Structures are given as C-alpha cells and as structure tokens.
Amino acid sequence: MLSSSITAAETFVPLSGALERVGARVEVTAERDRAMECDGLVVPGVGAFAACMRGIEDVGGASIIERRLAGGRAVLGICVGMQVLFSSGVEHGETTAGLDQWPGVVERLHAPVLPHMGWDTLEVGEGSVLFRGVENERFYFVHSYGVQSWEWSAQISSVQRPPLVSWGDYGGRFMAAVENGPLVATQFHPEKSGEAGSVLLRNWVQAL
C-alpha cells in the first residue's frame, strides 16, 4: 500500500485488515523499491484531490505507478486514490492536474445532499472480474466529487480495449469503478463495504 508518509499509514488500519482477511500480506510503505516490487499496489486516498496529489508527488508516486503499469503490474486506486488517476480534478474552482492514466475530469456531483454517503448499488460493467459474485450488492460510498462523463474515444484507444466501467448514480451518473488491465479503481470503499467489499478485494487479490 502506497503511503504518502509514515504517519498517514495509521489511517489505513481498516484497509490493511480487510486485505489481510482475504489472504494478502500487507505492508504500508512510502519506499520506492518496496512499492515497485510488490504483487499489487493499493493507492488509497482521503481528503482533497490537490492534497492527495501532493502526497503522491512527495513520494515519487506518479513514476512508481507509471512504471508498474508499463510492466503490467497491478495497481488499485480507492476513493480519491481513484480520482487522481484521471486527467484533472476541479475543487472550489481550482484545477489540479492528476496522474492522467485515464481521460476525464473529477468534478463536484450534482446532488442536493452532499457528500454522497452510504450504501449504493451499481450498474456493473459486463464481464467484470472485480465484481464477480457481488454484481448486485451495495457498496459504501463517501465522496462529493466524481467523474461524470467518460471521454474515452476510438482515436486514443485504437490499440487498446476500452476500460470496463461500472457506474453509480447519485444526482446523475458517475464512475464507480474502472477495470483497465493492471489498473483498477473504485470510487467506493471496499474495505468499508462489509462482506461484499471482502469478496471484491478477494477477487482483486486472487487475480494478482
């Protein structure tokens, strides 16, 4: 698990526990070598998009993620850890560049009550490996921002298969999960989604 600092590591107690429960050996690290050589790298994120990007930059996270993906090694982004994988994020009128693995802008959701907080079902993409066995379950969300339109076009994807997107709906559609070869991400918190979340994490761990 990539941590922007040693102190931040402590906030990942539930995530570590949830991954260990499905058989993973978990190490929280900000060290490049450790983050490069593990079977699967989890990038959790809480708080603001800009702050999360700063944390990732502080540990050279962009190049760690880039290199891992180039070598086909698994990376899982969770919550803001998913959002930073897109081109940019707009918070309070300010645009911050993201890791740009996927096109798309992270923007405030258009719902009367925010944050979007609670258990919700998804429209799971056909053929999803991540959601195998839990396609119709509810997952736990806490967020006010999301990617609401998918800008993947045929031009940029002529050689690649388009990512498999699962959608959520809260005041409009938003991307709830993306599966794209070694790069996988969820807007919701699998580590807080009870048994359904465990199944999802197990699906990810078993595919490593």
Partner 1 sequence: MPVIPWNWRRVTTVTVLMSLVFLDITASSGNRETTFDVVRRTAESVFIPLTVGGGVRSVDDFDRLLRAGADKVSLNTAAIADPALLTAAGKRFGAQCVVLSVDARRCPAGTSTPSGFEVTTHGGRKGTGIDALAWAVEGVERGAGEVLLNSMDADGTTSGFDTELIERVRALVSVPLIASGGAGAPEDFPVAVRAGADAVLAASVFHFGEMSIQDAKFALEGEGFPVRRHNVPHV
* Shortest spacing between CB 69 and partner 1, in angstroms: 28
- How far is residue 97's CA from residue 65's CA, in Å, rounded to a whole number? 15
Q: Stretches 41-49, 91-99, 150-158, 180-188: which one binds partner 1 (CB under 8 A)?
A: 41-49
Instruction: Report H helices in the chain.
Output: 6-9, 13-21, 32-37, 49-58, 61-70, 80-83, 194-206
Q: Tell me the site size for partner 1, rule CB under 8 A.
A: 40
Q: Which residue of 96, 140, 152, 167 would you call a contact of partner 1, by CB under 8 A?
A: 140
What whole-number distance in Å separates Cα of residue 160 and Cα of residue 87?
A: 18
- Given the rule CB under 8 A, which of 43-51, 55-63, 64-72, 177-185 is the region that contacts partner 1? 43-51
Segment near partner 1 (CB under 8 A); pick from 42-50, 54-62, 70-78, 166-174? 42-50
Give catalytic residue positions: 79, 189, 191
Backbone φ and ψ of 127, nearest 5°: 90, 10
Print the binding letters for residues 173-202 with partner 1: x by CB under 8 A, - otherwise.
Answer: ------------------xxxxxxxxx--x
Our CB check for partner 1 shows the closer of 30 and 69 to be 30
* Closest to partner 1 by CB, 68 or 202: 202
Contact set for partner 1, span 79-138 (CB under 8 A): 112-115, 117-121, 133-134, 137-138
CB of 201 to partner 1, least distance (A): 8
Other C-beta atoms closer than 10 Å to the C-beta of 3 total 23
DSSP letter, residue 193: S
Helix (H, G, I), strand (E, B) or coil at 107: strand
Beta strands in 40-189 (DSSP E): 40-45, 74-79, 86-91, 94-97, 102-108, 116-120, 139-143, 145-147, 164-169, 173-180, 183-186
Site residues for partner 1 per CB under 8 A: 7, 10-11, 13-14, 16-18, 21-22, 46-48, 112-115, 117-121, 133-134, 137-138, 140, 142-144, 191-199, 202
